[in-house]
Structure 1
């Protein structure tokens, strides 16, 4: 406090002397006097250097924090900022596109050449069959051209299990004609005309879809399906009796109808058996008299088969195109 009072008194004295002598001094002398006075104040004020040192330290701390923040900062760029960058050059993009197109055209040409080589016919053996583009082959011993068969091997065909009992309206007596042609013949009419329920084991049927012939196998005896072929079973046309499911690979109806699509055919005016309502099966109806409704029932049947194969049997590629 005493220092501050002394400084104030000194300033007052200097002000009084300055007021007296400033009038007689030149401008340069006044400037020199002012600079000396400022230097004197800096020396006399206590703690000035300490304040400057503390301010410098605070500034250094802030600068360190800013440096850390900037180091962690991620610069977000847009397509406009990238295009405006002087270091980016996109002139080679057209060259890259052209190179990719050339490679694609080369690959297509090589595929065409390979397909032509496969379709070339042999001329060394006059009796050998000549294969033409489109899958047609000529046998010199015959005078007609026949397309190559697209029939899959027996080990690749989907299997549909059907009942061979008279209490089911779709069984081994009429299943083939019904599923191939959409024509229903009641089993009782078949038996009245002197027929008996056949037991054929396996029989092949052909379905035409989008001008493509697809081959399936009907099986009326699950005992004849070996362990490996159970993976090809896609459907069981059930009679509604539990005895039909005895010789299946799976023991419980819940497991069976989870692994195989269950279909029940019944007359529209007759209620299905009680077990059918408790099973996971699709119920389709057939009219006793309206034969023009048969095609609708067949369409609904194949629709269920296609959906099941697509979701459960993706390895049967030709059947889910």
Structure 2
């Protein structure tokens, strides 16, 4: 199947989320894979054929205003769809129209002595004259020697399996393996958490002994308090918000590895590995072994927050778009970043244009390398340092 038809098929079925970029190619579930820069059969009014990465980026962002879409394309360094081509392209990919003048599928001519390809016919292409005779052996004297039946057959072939689907084992369920691994990780985190609590309790006992059991130390446990908007004091675990869009570097999928372990794992890699999307993730600063640190909830659905939940929001990773803050209980982004610390993650070699908007906001820009993963830890520490500094300032 050609890239344009595959994209139209997945769009009509509502399975755009199954189109994932891996390296320099797009994987369409387990069905197809095409190079990102492969030319499609849709020709722009300017004369050029649109590439697959241009069409995938457009159909996933066609709801944006044209100016916002252009900015998004420039940020990703992907050629954009022109304004006159937007509507007919959307109509075709969504199945509203069956064809358009801009579409130019390559034509494959089949000679008269070859039967038409029929999916339900196991013989596929069979020469009419002689099933296993002269036609199979080679062209007859009066036939055109330039006819290449093998090439024509391959032109009509449709891939049924790829290198990934071949690895699928029927009647084998690896879900139990995944669950066992998850349980071990949860147990490890529980043990580490208990060890930190035990260490904190031991320090408290030591301080009591040094103080003679009385005087200036209050051993009564108190709930952790956090200063929130409006100068009020609220109880509970503080909340960090991340965008739900995949265009940003930090999402609900990879925020835990980044903040806890100092390792950046691209979201598409996590999704391709079968990671389920959580509603909420708990993160702790693991870099400090000598003291107990607070835990934070990470969420990516601001619309699901209750009024009292907003009292606990202390930080947000921004996408760089105003619409990210639609329906937030604040007047504008100025008020937001006066009450909540903002972070914008970017690759260090991205263009200046990609951070042009956020440079006008009161947010902290954190840069990481595309390839040097050993530098991720420093970036994660910078986020923690900025966040803890902000929390200390708000608590006074």
TM-score by length of 1: 0.48
Q: Which has the higher contact order (CA 8 A, sep 6+)?
A: 2
Q: Which has the larger radius of gyration?
A: 1
TM-score by length of 2: 0.40
